[in-house]
Amino acid sequence: MKPFDLLLAAGILSGAVLLGVLVQRVVASRLRAMAKKTASDWDDILVESLKGLVVVWALLIGLAVVFKLVPLRPEVLRLLQRANGVLGILSAVIFFTRMSRRALYVYIDRKIEMPSTIFKNFAAAVIFLLGLLFALDYLGVSITPLLTALGVGGLAVALAFQDTLANLFAGMNILMARKIKPGDYIRLDSSQEGEVCDITWRNTTIRSPEDNMVVVPNSRLAAAIYTNTHLPDNEMGLFLPLTVDFDSDLALVERVTLEVAREVLAGPERAIDGFEPAVRYNAFTDIGVRFSVILRVKEYQEQYRIRHEFLRRLHERYRAEGIKPATAPRAVSIER
């Protein structure tokens, strides 16, 4: 290569890089300012995904111009052109990966408010695989045998890791169904319960009331019968069964019980607008009159403190009012 050719190549590449930096700083900044004024999120996603890649693309275009203007040996030119094409494919893979991850963050993490780690990793893996296939096809490598091998190998992997794949797709199904998300308090039919801490591609972590971590495989969770105490909202009804003696004045029992219930629920951190506690008599039993007190709490974990304070105060008022709780009937012995 002659000195003039070297200077020409250096000048073209320097100009391409400077042009890329200029476009990145000036045009991209204006696009970013315009994107902030629009209601759509796609322009913001596009601007964020282009960050730093404009300079790379300008350099690749400069290299393509150099290959056209500077005389090189055919074998060297062919090698450099293929390398330039592979770099272009790699930059496109980076761009589309950024776009997919950013779009998933905007439309799943932020708007739907659920973690999208599984979807981000899956989308990145698919894009990188497609980029690899495009690069191999560009280099002249036949991808048909590779696709066949991937199909056979994928079948073998699916059979070998069927439990892992079952957990993966079950985790994706759990996230897409939006019936469980981190922060919810759930109870499983296998008696485990607690607050959902994290949902990963393999398992779901639950913090039990004893402050222990319960790890449940996603496939088990997807097939389980569970109760989500945060759906349709965090508030829930609390039904407390009680029984008083047959000789009790039921009108007095109802009045005293409701007064205590209102006192317990009157705190600013416990008050629920529009809710009024209720007493419902259910049945006559062998030991007395059975009834239920209907309360309401703001979230599942609050029921234990409400139950404790309500029963303590109710016991004090019953003693002060002379209301007797029901007692078990005594065994009667028959003498012959």
Each domain of the chain, given as residue ranges in start order, spans 3-159, 181-228, 236-321
Distance CA 87, CA 299 (A): 54
DSSP 8-state code for residue 229 = T
In CATH, the number for domain 181-228 is: 2.30.30.60
Neighbouring CB atoms inside 10 A of 126's CB total: 13
Give per-residue pLDDT as tens, 49-108: 777 788 888 888 888 887 777 777 787 778 888 888 888 888 888 888 888 888 877 766
Q: Which of 160, 162, 166 has the alpha carbon at shortest distance from 217?
A: 166
Give the type of residue at 312: R
Q: Which of 136, 132, 46 has the alpha carbon at shortest distance from 96?
A: 46
Give per-residue pLDDT as tens, 317-326: 999 999 988 7
> What is the reported pTM?
0.52
Q: Which of 81, 64, 62 has the alpha carbon at shortest distance from 12?
A: 62
Distance CA 27, CA 179 (A): 43
Give per-residue pLDDT as tens, 118-137: 677 777 888 888 888 888 87
Given a contact cutoff of 8 angstroms between Cβ atoms, the answer to whether 306 and 238 are in contact is yes
Band of pLDDT at residue 312, cut at 50, 70 and 90: very high
Q: Which fold has domain 236-321?
A: Alpha-Beta Plaits (3.30.70)
Share of the chain above pLDDT 70, in %: 82
Which residue did the predictor score with more confidence, 53 or 112?
53
